[in-house]
């Protein structure tokens, strides 16, 4: 589902903030991890269980073992829906941790949509005055 331009800009801002704040690899604790951001440009494809390339918003990768360690997906109000939940299911089957970020107020709906597959962590987010806030739901 395509987002409206202002919503896409908001999405890309949240992805960028999350990457800087939580997925800024390599780090001292994880010197061998690399992270990739697939918005606004696709930089790291992952082969899905269905056999096609997928581009989660954030990919954490361990090049030494050619292993995807974690994927993170950011949704906006218009993309917390059953169509996107099909993609979440694919991400949950990659053998890596799957973290889902949804806008504040969308957590219950997202939790219901992914009840029959594994989401490692689910967060609601909100953005105010340049700051990103997260609330862990599961």
Domains with residue ranges and CATH for the chain:
5-136 (3.40.1350)
Question: Tokens in use for 81?
Answer: 């829906």
pLDDT value, residue 42: 93
pLDDT value, residue 50: 82
Residues of the chain with pLDDT under 50: none
pLDDT value, residue 53: 92
Digit-coded pLDDT (tens) for 2-41: 678 888 999 999 999 999 999 999 999 999 999 999 988 9
Residue 111 contacts by C-beta under 8 Å, 6 or more apart in sequence?
122, 137, 138
pTM, rounded to two decimals? 0.94
**Which is nearest to 70 in space by CA: 121, 132, 116?**
121
pLDDT value, residue 2: 66
- 120 by Cβ neighbours in 10 Å (0-12 / 13-18 / 19+) ranks as middle
């Amino acid at each position: 589902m395509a987002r409206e331009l202002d919503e896409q800009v908001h999405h890309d801002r949240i992805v960028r903030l999350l990457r800087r704040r939580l997925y800024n690899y390599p780090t001292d604790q994880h010197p061998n991890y690399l992270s990739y951001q697939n918005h606004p440009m696709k930089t790291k494809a992952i082969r899905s269980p269905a056999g096609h390339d997928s581009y989660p918003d954030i990919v954490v990768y361990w090049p030494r073992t050619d292993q995807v360690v974690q994927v993170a997906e950011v949704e906006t109000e218009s993309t917390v829906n059953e169509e996107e939940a099909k993609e979440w299911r694919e991400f949950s089957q990659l053998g890596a941790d799957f973290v889902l970020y949804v806008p504040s107020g969308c957590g219950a709906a997202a939790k219901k949509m992914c009840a029959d597959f594994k989401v490692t962590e689910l967060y609601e987010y909100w953005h105010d005055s340049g700051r990103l806030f997260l609330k862990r739901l599961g």
